[in-house]
Amino acid sequence: MSYTYEYPRPAVTADIVLFSSFENRDYVLLILRKHPPFEECWAFPGGFIGMDETLEVSALRELEEETGLKGIALKQFRTYGDPGRDPRYRTITVVFTGRCDGLPEVTGMDDASEAKWHPVDEIPMLGFDHDIILKDVLK
């Protein structure tokens, strides 16, 4: 199926904010980006949706591709689409949240050079608008 339009269209991504608790401390899962934009910057796992995927299937696929985690229950949280949130082009993201037990082992894969659980009270600088998203989720 092919479409041709005379006006620009946005890209759509799914981002995952995954929490866990361990020894009375809350953690969030972040990946270290391997490629621009925000190369070598921490961000939530996520990426572009597939043309034949639902939003949730895209989120689950991206989570597994970038961290190795699978079988996580996710819930759609909110959509973010301010112009300039992605320096490449106009990108709208659908954010999913989830929680898992303990600190499951994660591995940076695909376009993530590293995946790591970060204490919620010690978050490094984040790429895109992920700092805004995290504040909203924590409310």
Domains and CATH numbers, the chain: 17-138 (3.90.79.10)
40 as an active site residue: the answer is: no
Annotated catalytic residue, options 6, 66, 114, 122:
114
Predicted structure pTM score:
0.94
Task: Determine the pLDDT at residue 3.
Answer: 66
- Amino acid code (one letter) for 81: G
pLDDT on residue 2: 67
| Dist CA 13 CA 125 (whole Å) | 21
Q: Give the model's pLDDT for residue 8.
A: 84
Q: Which of 23, 76, 13, 22 is nearest to 45 (CA)?
A: 13
Nearest to 124 by CA among 113, 111, 134: 134
Residue keyed to tokens 């993201």: 93
Structure tokens at 60: 């689950």
Looking at residue 139, its pLDDT comes to 95
Cis peptide before 104 (omega within 30 of 0): no
Mean pLDDT by 10 residues, the chain (139 residues): 78 98 96 96 97 97 98 97 94 97 95 97 97 98
Q: Is the dihedral of CA 16, 56, 89, 36 positive or negative?
A: positive
Closest of 52, 48, 79 to residue 65, by C-alpha? 48
Give per-residue burial for 16-32: e unless 16+ CB within 10 Å, then b: bbbbbeeeeeebbbbbb
Q: What integer pLDDT is reported at residue 40 of this predicted model?
A: 96
DSSP state of 52: T
> And the tokens for 51?
């043309």
